[in-house]
Amino acid sequence: MSDIFGIMAEYKTPHDIYEACGEFRDAGYSCSSKWDTYTPFPVHGLDKQMGIGRSHVPWIVLAGGITGFTTGALLTWYMNGFDYPLVVGGKPYWSMIYPFPVMYELTILFSAFGAFFGQFLTNFLPQHYHSAFNNEGFKRHSDDAYFILIEATHPLYDEAKTRALLEKTGAYNITLVNK
C-alpha cells in the first residue's frame, strides 16, 4: 500500500473532465490539494471547477515591479546625483524626470522576472521526477488525453470508493500509480 502514489484515470474530452471535476468537488475532494488534473492545454474554468483559488503570481510581480522602480531611482540618484554629480546645463543633479526611462525599463524588467520566476516558484518547477510519469500512458497528457490523479494521501482517498466515483463520472483506464 505504501508504494501507491495514487489512483489515475483518463477522460475522453475536456467536457468530460470538466463535468467530472465538478462531481469530485461536490463530493468534497477540494478540501485538499492532493488531487489534480492534467490536460494538454489549459481547459478554461477547470481550476474553478476543482475549487482552486486564484494564482499568487501577481503578488510576486508587484514585488518585482516595486523593486525595479526603486532600483532604477536609487541607481540613477547614486551614480549621477551623489557619487559622481555632474552639472549639466545648471540643472539639478538628480530629478525624477530625466532618468525616468531607466526606472521605467527596470520596473518592467523586474516585474517580468517576477512573472517568470514566480510562475516556476509557485508551481514548484523544475521538478524532473513526478510519480504521474510512472503510468506509461500518462505521456499522452501533452497530446490529447485528460488525466485525473487522486493521491493516496488525500483525506478522502479510499481505493474502492474513489474508483467507484471515477467510474461513475465516466473515467476509463483507471490505474494505480506507484510512487
- Give the footprint of another protein on this chain (CB under 8 A): 13-15, 17-18, 33, 36-47, 50, 52, 54-58, 61, 75-76, 79-80, 83-84, 86, 88, 98-99, 101-102, 104-106, 108-109, 111-113, 115-116, 118-120, 122-123, 125-130, 132-133, 139-144
Residue 7, SS3 per DSSP: strand
Q: Kindly tell me which of 1 and 130 has the beta carbon lying closer to another protein.
A: 130
Shortest spacing between CB 154 and another protein, in angstroms: 14
As a whole number of angstroms, the distance between CA 92 and CA 162 comes to 71
Shortest spacing between CB 175 and another protein, in angstroms: 16
C-beta atoms surrounding 158 within 10 Å: 14
Q: Kindly tell me which of 1 and 54 has the beta carbon lying closer to another protein.
A: 54
Q: Is 24 exposed, middle or buried (0-12, 13-18, 19+ CB in 10 A)?
A: buried
Instruction: Give all strands (DSSP E) within the chain, no chain letters.
Output: 4-11, 35-38, 146-151, 172-178
Q: Kindly tell me which of 2 and 127 has the beta carbon lying closer to another protein.
A: 127
